[in-house]
Chain A
Amino acid sequence: MDNILSSFFSASFLFIVIRVGVPLLYASMSAYVADISGIPNIAVEGIMIFGALFGVYISAISGSAWIGLLGVIVVGIVMGLVMAFFTMKMKASPIMIGIALNLFATDFSVWLLLIWTGTKGTTASLPSKVLPKWDIPVIKDIPFIGEVLSGHYFLTYVCIALAILIAILVYKTPFGLRMKACGLDEHAAESVGIKVNQVRLIAIIMSGILAALGGAYLSMGYMSIFSSNMTASRGWTGIAANAVGGGNFLIVVLTTFVFSIAQGVVNKLALTELPSDLVNIIPYVCVLLAMVMLSIQKMRKQKVK
């Protein structure tokens, strides 16, 4: 047991935290960009499933991981457009569309799996490709930091870069201000001539791409196959992190990091004799606690008013 505890303070543990945290961060960012512009996207989970499946399939038939990645981005855009069509053009509730897409993705992916591989379990029989791991020159030779930061998958570094880009987009550019305006009061945004639907369309497409990339990370790096239900509620965890953040991107990222640590702890404890079902609930308990804390904070604020 002492061994386990001390291993939580090691470079290899932080490495694992990043490894398991990346898909959560993709999911959080996906939920975030859609939410702040006024279309809550709860289809993150479903889009991740499609991203994961199509990444594997397209890379297998094309023989190139990069073409697979391109396919994943297209899948994300298409899913974003579907969301946009139903919510903005057909004026359906984003929540209903989100539920529909999630259910559709869960089952349709199994059906596609059956068609493509003849089994309902995994794509192990497909010759799919994985995206490379990167050793960062210079940094990889720094003790500790190199161990933590270097040697991750390509999509890990993309994720970090995208997080920085989103922060800049939202907080520093006119478009970011307009996104927030659309989410906070669409009539006010409209009254100053902002094309609300156009802003939201872009946001929802970004959201789709981010979720699809999160899925691809799982099947084209983290693992090298697609298996049914491999997203394991990571999309929902991201949505929870976004809710805790309440529109503040830094808090969203920090919350995601806390959830990642919880997931990292699970991975470590899975190697012990503790009952695995019990260990597996740790991240979900964390999400619940975060939501409770959020409610308490909200209630306090209301009392002050």
Chain B
Amino acid sequence: MQDIILKLEHITKIYPNGTVANKDINIELKKGEIHSIVGENGAGKSTLMKVIFAIEKQTTGKIYYKGKEVNFSNSMDAIANGIGMVHQHFMLIPSFTVAENIVLGAEPKKGLFIDKKEAVRVTQELAKKYNFDIDVTQKVADLNVSAKQKVEILKTLYRNAEVIILDEPTAVLTPQETEQLFEQLLKFKELGHTIVFISHKLNEVKQISDRVSVIRLGESKGTYDAEGITIEKLTELIIGRKLETSYDEYRRPVENPKMILDVRHLSYKDSAGVPKVKDASFSIKGGEILGIAGVQGNGQEELIRAITGLIPFQEGTVKICGKETQTLTIMEKRNAGMSYIPEDRMIDGCAAEASNSDNLISTTYTKKPISGLVFLNNKVIKNRSQELIKRFAVKTNSEKEKVGALSGGNIQKVVVAREWSTNPELMIAEQPTRGIDVGSANAIHKELIEMRNQGKGILLVSADLNEVMALSDRLLVMDDGKVVAYFDSMKGVTESELGLYMLGVEHHSEEVIRGACYEE
């Protein structure tokens, strides 16, 4: 009993609008452990953390901290008691220095004034103690994402946090930065801090944590030793059923496929004249998914933007359903049969402040029957939105809710639903499941396979190798702006083999790569 630092007993949270976010949750945190909390987007992890941190008040249930029942009145109270939170969206002020951000709200004083020297000294010392390599006199605006996260962690340490809650900390980090973060987390553990690690990247969870608690649909599904549980078992607990890892059984052959996308000798140089895409050629017929694998930043993004018309390319041709598209506007390309799930759903994918239905019609609102001669047809919009929300199982209160209020996975579903709704011939899916939970990702994957079976052509770009390998019928690998490998079937292709091509260690001959194009 002695070593339980925080205990949640029968926590239930019902929002005023009737949403039950947490239902009878029981979790115990041992002092000095790394405890992961996993669950789908919208399962209630964030609500639970808000309850611990007193941003939200639980409807019923008790919280015990260090053996005593506590009732924090606000987050200040929680902070004062040694609970720290690193939010997913950083709570930092860019124009302040690192030191200012860390001491804000609890500034060292000399008389009436802030002791700026002391602030720098204390924060620098703190950074040193925990092996953070950071210059505290720098402005936060000049830091990269990983360094900003370090500042957030230092903020909690400055306030003597014993329990540190990290809300999906690795979502924004590169693999190397994640490794670095994990080393630091282990160091905190050594020094006696208790870490709560929220994530849905299960391999990371398994790697770093001592114990794992699962939440599904607001209910706790038990706590397990990370050692003794497999990723498959965890996944099953999270989504409540077995997860398919291969979609082969869903694939159906398509007869007489037509040519959907034909890209020839496409080259793109950015405004500084740096070549980003070098002579890329490939084609896609109906009924197939062409995957593009590669380490991020090797020209995939530019290639997609060139095809969709977001950036003008200098050389080559792009034909969509036989139509030359270089001079077409994006709207005209969409009319020719193109659809596009962009990489960043918040920037290119949706208007966060607009409603679900506004977002769902945003590519079709000029067309009948959504638009009449002068006015929009609200009844049609409502019916169509509700249909799409239902079909794609978007978790939302109504079609009028703001998209920005949904969880990431559900926002992505809205984007996919919109792109699906125009019945396109060509679907360009760029990182279609990034940062969303396994259940939603699975649903989106099945939609893509279904479209393929109906004879559509799909171009898939993803940094997630498992995704590319599970979905693709054929596969290209890009490295340094060039197509370096082509596989006409995924049979027998292994992850490690792909890795060699992605890192530029090996490449296919020109002749093999030429196979990516169909002759007309």
Contacts and interface: CB of A to CB of B under 8 A. Distances in A.
Interface string A66-100: 00000000000000000000000000000000000
B283 to A, nearest CB: 38
Interface string B62-88: 000000000000111001000001010
A178 B91 contact: no
If over half of A's interface residues share one DSSP class (helix, strand or loop), that class is named, otherwise mixed; here it is helix
A6 interface: no
B109 interface: yes
Given A181-B93, A184-B93, A188-B92, A193 B107 contact: no
Nearest to B87: A191
A301 interface: no
B106 interface: yes
B346 interface: no
A185 B287 CA distance: 49
A192 B114 contact: no
Contacts of A177: 96, 100, 104, 107, 114
A174 B93 contact: no
Nearest to B89: A187
A116 B113 CA distance: 47
A177 B85 CA distance: 22
A185 B76 contact: no
Interface in B470-490: none
Interface string A156-180: 0000000000001000111001101
Contacts of A185: 91-93
Contacts of A173: 112-114
B114 A184 contact: no
A202 to B, nearest CB: 15
A194 interface: yes
Contacts of B107: 174, 177
Contacts of B75: 190-191, 193
A198 to B, nearest CB: 12
Contacts of B87: 191
A189 B104 contact: yes
Interface in B77-133: 79, 85, 87, 90-96, 100, 104-107, 109, 112-114
Contacts of A192: 79, 91, 104-106, 155
A188 B79 CA distance: 14
Contacts of A189: 93, 104-105
Contacts of A178: 104-105
A194 B104 contact: yes
Given A181-B96, A193-B75, A193-B79, A174 B109 contact: yes
Contact of B91 (A168, A172, A191): A191
A191 B76 CA distance: 8
B4 to A, nearest CB: 26
Given A174-B107, A181-B104, A194-B105, A187 B91 contact: yes
Contacts of A184: 93-96
Contacts of B104: 177-178, 181, 188-189, 192, 194
B114 A174 contact: yes
Contacts of B90: 188
Contacts of A181: 93, 96, 104-105
Determine which residue in A168, A177, A178 has the highest number of CB atoms from chain B within 10 A of its CB, and name it: A177
Nearest to B112: A173
Contacts of B76: 193
A170 to B, nearest CB: 11
Contact of B114 (A172, A187, A190, A191): A172
A172 B95 contact: no
Nearest to B113: A172
Contacts of B92: 185, 188
B104 to A, nearest CB: 5
Contacts of A187: 91
A163 B373 CA distance: 60
Contacts of A190: 75
B197 to A, nearest CB: 19
Contacts of A194: 104-105
Determine which residue in B76, B91, B105, B112 has the highest number of CB atoms from chain A within 10 A of its CB, and name it: B105
Contacts of A168: 113
Nearest to B95: A184
Contacts of B79: 192-193
A191 B156 CA distance: 11
A167 to B, nearest CB: 12
Contacts of B109: 174
Contacts of B106: 192-193
Nearest to B100: A177
Interface of A: 168, 172-174, 177-178, 180-181, 184-185, 187-194
24 contacts: A168-B113, A173-B113, A174-B109, A174-B114, A177-B100, A177-B104, A177-B107, A180-B93, A181-B96, A185-B92, A185-B93, A188-B90, A189-B104, A189-B105, A191-B91, A192-B79, A192-B105, A192-B106, A193-B75, A193-B76, A193-B79, A193-B105, A194-B104, A194-B105
Given A180-B93, A193-B79, A194-B104, 11 more contacts: A172-B113, A174-B107, A177-B96, A181-B93, A184-B93, A188-B91, A188-B93, A189-B104, A193-B74, A193-B105, A193-B106
